[in-house]
Amino acid sequence: MPLVSTKTILDLAEEKNFALPAFNVPIPEFILWVLEAGEEMRASLIIQIAPVEYEALDIRMFYGTLLFLSQKFSIPFSLHLDHAHRLEDILLAIQNGFSSVMIDGSRLPLEENIQLTNKVIEVAHPVGVLVEGELGRVGGLEGDESWEEKGKEEDFFTSPQEAQEFVDKVPVDMLAVAVGTRHGLYKGRTPQLQLDRIKEIRAKTNLPLVIHGGSGTPREQLQKAAQLGVRKINFSTALRAQYLSSFQEYLESHPEELMVGKILQGVEGKVKEVIKECIIASCAEGKV
């Protein structure tokens, strides 16, 4: 199966009522591990990268790498830009083969968010690129999060009424919503998804919804969210945390090992276990 557009697998997720697990890939090894786990579990999925991640890499490497790897795998997968805040990042992604992009105007006042997202749509839709917008604020690790200290958690949830107003003015293809998750570690707290809010937002917008910060959210909650119309769930922290802890454990057990390939082989299996759990939590297993 060749590398496909996000629209192709988003339509599949709508048809079969599941969420696409979308995996951030801060290092190239993650790409292969994600695709191998997806192939084993017969799951469609999304490879995504955010500007804060590709600062350490070259954005041009991703499309070519995935196009080459598509010869090896039979599952459909796509390439998505995560958490862009500037139009320049959107244009760069479109020029380099991304079939969907996320513009994050959630920190802006509603009207400014609408204006920014519409500017992205003006350049993306004519070339067949889907646009994910965001409404509400998903807290946690996104860079400078000092704004979290200025309000109560309730203030950041996505309002169903505001969501309806937003999509009436902005023809986005997917809508990321704040419904109880956060980016990064939960530090001992278990998230509680607001399933009724998800159901109401979906009813008012009739759009595929996106949950950011899927890592650490109980499997059962994410599966219920998928059944209610969430069509994309982002996973990053769970993979990175497992990778770093496994890497450290391997080095402690093999302090003289200098062959990086051997270390990665020792880490790979544990990271894949996390990837598979994310696929199950998205209800995506066996949907290809």
Predicted confidence (pLDDT) per residue in 176-215, tens digit: 999 988 655 555 667 789 999 999 999 999 999 999 989 9
- Tell whether the model's pLDDT for residue 153 goes beyond 60: no
- Tell whether the model's pLDDT for residue 114 goes beyond 70: yes
| Alpha-carbon dihedral angle through residues 74, 232, 267, 57, given to the nearest 10 degrees | 90
Q: What pLDDT score does 136 carry?
A: 84
Establish whether 168 is a catalytic residue: no
59-95 pLDDT tens trace:
988 999 999 998 999 999 999 999 999 999 999 999 9
Q: Which amino acid is at 204?
A: K
- Tell whether the model's pLDDT for residue 259 goes beyond 60: yes
**pLDDT band, very low/low/confident/very high, at 246 (cuts 50, 70, 90):** very high
Fold adopted by 6-281: TIM Barrel (3.20.20)
Length of the chain: 288
Contact 43, 16 (CB under 8 A): no
**Winning range, highest mean pLDDT, from 11-25, 128-142, 147-161:** 11-25
Contact 230, 19 (CB under 8 A): yes
Domain layout of the chain by residue ranges? 6-281
Selecting among 11, 58, 82, 196, the annotated active-site residue is 82
Rounded to whole angstroms, what are the CA distances from 14 to 17, 72, 156, 227, 284? 5, 26, 27, 10, 12
189: exposed, middle or buried (C-beta count within 10 Å: 0-12, 13-18, 19+)?
A: exposed
- Helix (H, G, I), strand (E, B), or coil: what is residue 68? helix
